[in-house]
Amino acid sequence: MKIKDGKAHLAALDVDREVFLDGQLIKRVTEHPAFRESCRTTAALYDFQSRDENIDLMTFDTGTGVRANRAWQIPRSYEELVAKRKAMTAWAELHGGFMGRSPDHLACAIGGQIAGLEVFRAHGERYAKAYEDYYRYARDNDIFLTYVIINPQADRSKAWGEQEKEDMTMHIVDEDSEGVTVRGAKMLGTSSIMAEEIFVANLQPLKPGEEDLAISFALPMASKGIKTISRKSYEAHALSQWDYPLSYRFDENDAIIYFDDVKVPWERIFVYRDTNVCRAQFHDTPGHVSQNYQAQVRYCVKMKFLLAIARRITETIGTINMPPVREKLGRMAAEIGAAEGMLYGMEASGRFHGEYYVPNRHLLYAAQVYTQALYPKFINEIRELAGGGLIMLPSSVADLANPELLSMLNSTQASAREGDDAYERMKLFKLAWDAVGSEFAGRHVQYEMFYAGAQFTTAGNSFRTYDWAGADEILKGIIDSYESPHGSSATESARAQSLAS
Ligand SMILES: Cc1cc2nc3c(=O)[nH]c(=O)nc-3n(C[C@H](O)[C@H](O)[C@H](O)COP(=O)(O)OP(=O)(O)OC[C@H]3O[C@@H](n4cnc5c(N)ncnc54)[C@H](O)[C@@H]3O)c2cc1C
């Protein structure tokens, strides 16, 4: 049965697109020094899933003569959800959780929305059909999608429709019998360089009157008029794999996507001119929960990887047996244990949405609030444990080729970890710096703090989905179980008091 592998993925990427970097237009990304390693890393994910020994773990039979990555599977039971988590965990372990928008993210987002297809049916049968057809196409071809569902930040005191620059936020400018034309920008297309297609929608609320912004669709990244304005490439600035092992291989990139009068055919449009359906596609379907469930699976892998770095640093500098250091590591391990516990809890206490099994919504949002605050704190703790060892390093791998320098490095880079020499110590600290201190690491702090929205957004989702009624029942049970000996109302009690006097 056909299964997508790395070669097929690179071939799919090898078409002309418009990517702007450092003032240049780049059309082919797979061999460009700013992007080629991250393209190869993504290709390696597909190679992993197509290996005989991993096929069952990573893929499922779609019933259409192909096997696709399990992320596309819409679980019908707790067991299917767990099987999906195991596949996503195995992929995340290949990049240490550092590729936030690996292909499984959008597969989960789209599958989750399809599980709530009734939302699109109510909007219009043509939109539901377009979306269902698209899901099948994307699943059966194991398409790597990115998404842009946020509008450019601009002036946050104004609604999107009130921003001064008319063509800033992507909006509808024309429609005809073939489709709709859109113009303007969306942020922040993570992985858009390595993705084949892009999904566009509005996660932030729109108001009535903002119908020109209210559209959701998917298109190939190579579509005419889609311009990818890349941020700085950390891969391009990574001196070598040895110096920046994470930036070098896992820089998934982020970009402003500008739609320069892009024509979207009707068969690729899923929401049109309805501000409420823009919200509903995420929140009245299991879509938002499903995409963020994948994010929590990945996060747990990343935190385990970071904890392993933290522990090895303390072994290397000989602090591992000091009680305050053990206590700190113990607390950090407990924090990860709590995140993992929330993950297993949201699976075990899931619910059915129609025939589909969905993780517990509130526990998912609780985990987001918790983990987005935990990440910067955790990074700081690793820096605290490491001290100057993160900086006391050779300038680059080239220093190892200079015999005079090498001899000095060998005698100054001592390691307390059994079996490790100067080389092992330098290798560990170079990796650790790329995880906690480099520009790539700084971007990851920003990513974990914001990929799911600012804190007021994630806390708002937690507020919205908490079982307040259940909590209030407990309060009611206790507060209603006693009364004042002077009667049940303050006025009555005041009257009784005045009569008595
Ligand atoms: C590295 C990275 C990758 C990303 N990748 C993607 C992607 O692939 N696809 C995508 O669609 N999006 C992506 N995003 C965008 C992300 O979804 C947004 O950053 C997020 O939704 C927050 O929006 P914002 O950046 O406009 O920040 P804001 O919402 O503007 O928040 C900035 C600050 O202002 C405060 N603030 C703003 N408005 C209010 C308010 N009304 N009340 C109180 N406080 C307020 C916030 O609390 C916060 O402190 C990415 C972001 C980052 C950082």
pLDDT, tens digit, for every residue of 90-106?
Answer: 999 999 999 999 999 99
Using the 8-state DSSP alphabet, how is residue 413 labeled?
A: -
**Contact between residue 437 and residue 384 where contact means Cβ atoms under 8 Å apart:** no
Q: Which residue has the CA at smallest separation from atom 39 of ligand 1?
A: 156
> Which of 168, 169, 443, 456 to probe ligand 1 with, by most ligand atoms within 8 A of CB?
456
Find the 447 Cα to ligand 1 centroid distance in Å.
10
* Whether the predicted pLDDT of 499 surpasses 90: no
Q: What is the rounded distance in angstroms from the CA atom of residue 407 to the CA atom of residue 392?
A: 16
Would you place residue 492 in the very low, low, confident or very high pLDDT band (cuts 50, 70, 90)? low
pLDDT value of residue 161: 73
Q: What is the rounded distance in angstroms from the CA atom of residue 378 to the CA atom of residue 35?
A: 29
pLDDT value of residue 498: 65
Q: Is the pTM of this model over 0.85?
A: yes
**Contact between residue 454 and residue 460 where contact means Cβ atoms under 8 Å apart:** no
CATH of 287-469 among 3.40.50.300, 1.10.3720.10, 1.20.140.10, 2.70.98.40: 1.20.140.10
Nearest to 305 by CA among 43, 445, 95: 95
pLDDT tens-digit profile of 8-22? 999 999 999 999 999
pLDDT tens-digit profile of 332-376? 999 999 999 999 999 999 999 999 999 999 999 999 999 999 999
pLDDT value of residue 496: 64
pLDDT tens-digit profile of 61-82? 999 999 999 999 999 999 999 9
pLDDT tens-digit profile of 389-427? 999 999 999 999 999 999 999 999 999 999 999 999 999
Q: What is the rounded distance in angstroms from the CA atom of residue 133 to the CA atom of residue 334?
A: 44
Domain positions in the chain are 6-283, 287-469
Find the 457 Cα to ligand 1 centroid distance in Å.
9
Q: Which atom of ligand 1 is nearest to the CA of 203?
A: 11
Residue 323: both structure tokens together:
């009680």
* Whether the predicted pLDDT of 441 surpasses 80: yes
Q: Where are the beta strands (DSSP E) in 94-200?
A: 145-148, 171-175, 179-186, 197-200
Q: Which residue has the CA at smallest separation from atom 6 of ligand 1?
A: 188
Scanning the structure block, which residue is given the tokens 């025939």? 355
Please give the angle made by the CA atoms of 437, 442 and 446, to the nearest 5 degrees: 150
> Which of 144, 156, 372 to probe ligand 1 with, by most ligand atoms within 8 A of CB?
156
DSSP-assigned states of every residue in 310-337: HHHHHHHTT-TTSHHHHHHHHHHHHHHH
**Contact between residue 30 and residue 10 where contact means Cβ atoms under 8 Å apart:** yes
Q: Where are the alpha helices (DSSP H) in 234-316?
A: 234-237, 245-250, 275-283, 287-316
At residue 69, the 3 state secondary structure works out as strand
Q: Calculate mean pLDDT across residues 314-333.
A: 98
pLDDT value of residue 162: 79
Q: Which atom of ligand 1 is nearest to the CA of 190?
A: 8
Find the 43 Cα to ligand 1 centroid distance in Å.
29
* Whether the predicted pLDDT of 331 surpasses 80: yes
Q: Calculate mean pLDDT across residues 214-222.
A: 98
CATH for 6-283?
2.40.110.10
Q: Where are the alpha helices (DSSP H) in 349-466?
A: 361-386, 403-412, 422-436, 439-450, 455-465
pLDDT tens-digit profile of 126-163? 999 999 999 999 999 999 999 999 999 888 888 877 78
Q: Which residue has the CA at smallest separation from atom 34 of ligand 1?
A: 454
Q: Which residues line ligand 1 (CB under 6 A)?
A: 101, 147-150, 153, 156, 187-190, 254, 443, 446-447, 450-451, 453-456
pLDDT value of residue 494: 64
pLDDT value of residue 110: 98
pLDDT value of residue 119: 98
